[in-house]
Amino acid sequence: MAQPSKLLDPAVLARITPLGFKAARVVEGSITGQHRSPMHGVSPEFAEHREYAPGDDVKNLDWKVWAKSDRYVIKRYEEESNLRCTILLDASRSMQYAGKDAQGGRSKFEAASTIAACMMQLLMKQRDAVGLITIDTKPRAVLQPKATSRQAAQILDTLESTRPGGETELGPVIVRAADQLRRRGMVLVLSDLLCDLDTLYQSLGKLQHNGHEIVVFHILDGEEIDLPFNDSIIFKDIEGSEEIFGEPWAFRKAYQKAMNTFIGEVTTRCQSTGIDHVLIRTDQDLGQALAQYLHRRQRMSATTAGRGRIGGSVV
Amino acid sequence: MPFLAPLLLGGLVFASAPIIIHLLNRRRFKLVEWAPMRYLKLTLRTNRRRLQLEQWILLAIRTLVILLLIFAAARFYLTGNAAAAWLSLGGRTSRVILIDDSLSMGLKTAGQSALDRATDQAGQLIETLGTQDALTVATTSTLTAPMRRDSVMSSDEAAALAKQVRDLTPTESANNWAATLASLGDLLEGAAHSNKEVRLFTDRRAVGWSAEAAEQANRLVSLGVRLVIVDVGQGSEGNASLASFDQSAGVALVNTPIHFVAKIDRRRPAVQGRLRDPRRRRRRNHRQAARHRRGPARHRTQGQPHLRHARPAHRRAAAAR
Contacting residues of A for B55, CB less than 8 Å apart = 250
Contacting residues of A for B25, CB less than 8 Å apart = 232
Q: What is the mean pLDDT of residues B111-119?
A: 85
- Report pLDDT for B187: 81
pLDDT in tens, B95-108: 888 888 888 888 77
- Report pLDDT for A122: 87
In sequence order, which residues have a C-beta less than 8 Å from that of residue A87 and are 6 or more positions away?
A116, A119, A120, A130, A131, A132, A133, A155, A187, A188, A190
To the nearest whole Å, the CA of B91 is away from the closest chain A CA by 45
In sequence order, which residues have a C-beta less than 8 Å from that of residue A242 and are 6 or more positions away?
A236, B37
Share of chain B above pLDDT 70, in %: 81
> Model-level pTM?
0.55
Q: What is the largest CA-CA distance in chain A?
A: 86
Spatial strand order of the sheet with A213-220 comes to: A139-146, A129-135, A84-90, A186-191, A213-220, A276-281
Element at B220 (helix H, strand E): helix B211-222
Give chain A's mean pLDDT: 83
Of B38, B43, B55, the CB nearest to A254: B43
Q: What is the mean pLDDT of residues B230-253?
A: 76
Worst-scoring range by mean pLDDT, A69-78, B3-12, B50-59, B155-164? Answer: B3-12
CB-neighbour burial class of residue A292 (10 A; exposed 0-12, middle 13-18, buried 19+): middle
Of A229, A233, A255, the CB nearest to B39: A255
Give chain B's mean pLDDT: 78
- Answer yes or no: is pLDDT of B117 > 80: yes
Strand stretches in B128-266, DSSP E? 134-139, 148-151, 195-202, 225-231, 241-247, 260-265
The C-alpha atoms of residue A1 and residue B106 are separated, in whole angstroms, by 125
Of B38, B43, B55, the CB nearest to A194: B38
Q: How confident is the model at residue A308 (pLDDT cuts 50, 70, 90)?
A: very low
Q: What is the mean pLDDT of residues A262-281?
A: 93
pLDDT in tens, B41-82: 888 888 888 888 988 998 899 989 988 888 888 877 765 445
Element at A84 (helix H, strand E): strand A84-90
To the nearest whole Å, the CA of A297 is away from the closest chain B CA by 29
Within 10 angstroms of residue A134's Cβ, the number of other Cβ atoms is: 26
User: A interface mutation test: which of B28, B31, B32, B38 has the most A CBs within 10 A?
Assistant: B32
By three-state DSSP, how is residue B99 classified?
Answer: strand
The DSSP line for A221-272 is: -HHHHH----S-EEEEETTSS-EEEE-HHHHHHHHHHHHHHHHHHHHHHHHH
**What ipTM does this complex have?**
0.75
Element at B56 (helix H, strand E): helix B37-73
Q: Where are the alpha helices (DSSP H) in chain A?
A: 10-16, 63-69, 108-125, 149-161, 170-178, 197-209, 222-226, 248-273, 286-303
Between B204 and A1, residue with greater pLDDT: B204
pLDDT in tens, A132-176: 999 888 888 888 888 888 999 999 999 999 888 877 778 888 888
Q: How confident is the model at residue A41 (pLDDT cuts 50, 70, 90)?
A: low
Q: Are A172 and A204 in contact (CB under 8 A)?
A: no
Q: How confident is the model at residue A40 (pLDDT cuts 50, 70, 90)?
A: low
DSSP assigned state of B11: G
Q: Are B15 and B63 in contact (CB under 8 A)?
A: yes
- Answer yes or no: is pLDDT of A38 > 60: yes
The sign of the CA dihedral A245, A248, A249, A250 is positive
pLDDT in tens, A56-92: 888 888 899 999 999 999 887 766 667 889 999 999 8
Backbone angles phi, psi at B121, to 5 degrees: -65, -40
Within 10 angstroms of residue B299's Cβ, the number of other Cβ atoms is: 7
- Report pLDDT for A214: 92
The C-alpha atoms of residue B36 and residue A103 are separated, in whole angstroms, by 20
